[in-house]
A and B are shown apart, each in its own frame.
Chain A
Amino acid sequence: MKRLSCILAAFAVLCMAAGAQAKSYVNGIDANYPPFAYVGEDGKPAGFDVDSMDWIAKHMGFEITHQPMDWDGIIPALMNKKIDMVCSGMSISPERAAVVAFSEPYYTIQKVILVPADSTLTAEQAIKGKTKLGVQRGTNEHELLETRKVEEKLQYELRFYDSAPLAVEDLLNGRIEAIAMDSAPANDAINKGKAVKIVGTFADDDLFGVAIRKDDKELLNLVNEGYRKLKADPYWKELQAKYLTK
């Protein structure tokens, strides 16, 4: 292991020496998605995905900046080369894969139902009943719930939010009865002392991948190779412990 890191370090130094103009890329993030991507207390982008990509950039010899963006416009921004990748808790979905390329999945996330701590609602009731169900606009969950509502003739009424934290806020306001969301931000809300609880899942797990333009094979290889290295490094466990415990 030590030897490997020596080689890696040497490689990194070589890369820096070789390319004073190391390639620089921009990663578009949804900074309203803790703990994967958010803006830290110092005003700089932070989170699991941000730290992961920083590590990969360092070890693969490219420069990375993280650009907070509106989630709704993030794919158009990628297609228009305003940004080069989206590493920000993006679920791999067939709709998205039709327009962009995805890296190999780097994380598996559960899709959970979040309810107020004093609620007696179950995940099953939340989906099958006449519930007011909150969901973040433009997400995989949004897509999924719209489709299922029609296909399975479900009774829930969807309410859309700009971000998961805003949905949690409205859940506590009592305007919705449950939220369908990813487990990580749900746990984040619980860890930050919000009176909410997870009562179960409502769909199969999702896989997170890094979205990259289809013609940008070079970056796709860099990112895939980078994740392979990162996952073999103890830092991967450290990152999970730091951001995703519980």
Chain B
Amino acid sequence: MHILSTIIEALPYILEGTLVTIVLVAGALSLGFCLGVPMAVAQVYAPRPAAMLVGFYVWFFRGVPVLLLLFLFYYGLFGLIGLDVGTIGASCIVLGMTSAAYQSQIFRGSILSLSAGQLKAGKALGMTNGQTIIHVILPQALRLSIPGWSNEYSILLKDSAMCFALGTPEIMARTHFVASRTYEHLPLYITAGLIYFAITMAGVTMLRRLEQKARIPGYNSAGM
């Protein structure tokens, strides 16, 4: 019973951290999306130098652990350029930039799965390439990306636990603090696990709904 009362007592404190975690994930996913879509388009359609630049970005952010990136940006780069956005802001930016690398590949995959003839078809109809990409290619590609994107969501959620390295007071950090005071490590870690599980489930379910809502009846990826 003592364990239960410890958990109940700690719950408001840990749930406050849940809010921080949700802000981190929402911020990072949005930033990743805003950067990832243009990056994917550039990698597929842009001239070689631009595509290579994106390739380099993806190579860098996928090749380095998130924890190291957090240290590198927060203590190194952000200090150098005098950017002070607090630990939550900095965590958001680093997670978002990392996520952009992964998200761009999800979108790129979707774009490549579309029939290459669509761009020519657009041209035949008098549309510029840009118009075709925005109005024809992306609406299809983004729909196809939702399943892969829900994967990225759940991975990012768990990566956010590493942001404690900067002192970001999210779920894992707070759980750790309470455990250090009460010496009830296992029950508290299980509680944190259940919270992560609940957020993952909620997000994935929502994306699944979105996927069904966005589906166009009778449509397949060949565009026929």
A residues bordering B, Cβ < 8 Å?
28, 31-34, 38-41, 43, 67-70, 72-73, 76-77, 80-82, 162-166, 168-169, 189, 192, 194
Contacts and interface: CB of A to CB of B under 8 A. Distances in A.
B180 A68 contact: no
Interface size class of B (residues with CB under 8 A): 20 to 34
A80 B169 CA distance: 19
B167 A169 contact: no
A32 B9 contact: no
Contacts of A67: 167
Contacts, number: 68
A70 B167 CA distance: 6
A76 B173 CA distance: 19
6 contacts: A32-B180, A38-B181, A76-B75, A82-B87, A165-B180, A166-B180
Contact of B176 (A40, A73, A163): A163
Contacts of B25: none
Interface string B1-34: 0000000010011001000000000000000000
A39 B179 CA distance: 10
Given A31-B180, A34-B180, A34-B181, 4 more contacts: A39-B181, A69-B167, A73-B166, A76-B75
Nearest to A169: B185
A192 B180 CA distance: 11
Contact of B178 (A39, A72, A164): A39
* Residue among B9, B79, B181 with max Cβ neighbours from chain A (10 Å): B181
Contacts of A69: 166-167
Contact of B9 (A41, A68, A72, A166): A41
Contacts of A82: 74, 87, 167
A174 to B, nearest CB: 15
B75 A32 contact: no
A73 B180 contact: no
Contacts of B183: 165, 168-169, 189, 192, 194
Contact of A39 (B13, B75, B164): B13
A31 to B, nearest CB: 5
Contacts of B116: none
Contacts of A80: 75, 79
Given A68-B173, A72-B165, A38 B180 contact: yes
A77 B177 contact: no
Given A43-B16, A80-B79, A73 B71 contact: yes
Nearest to B186: A169
Contact of B177 (A68, A72, A169): A68
Contacts of A68: 167, 169, 173, 177
Nearest to A189: B183
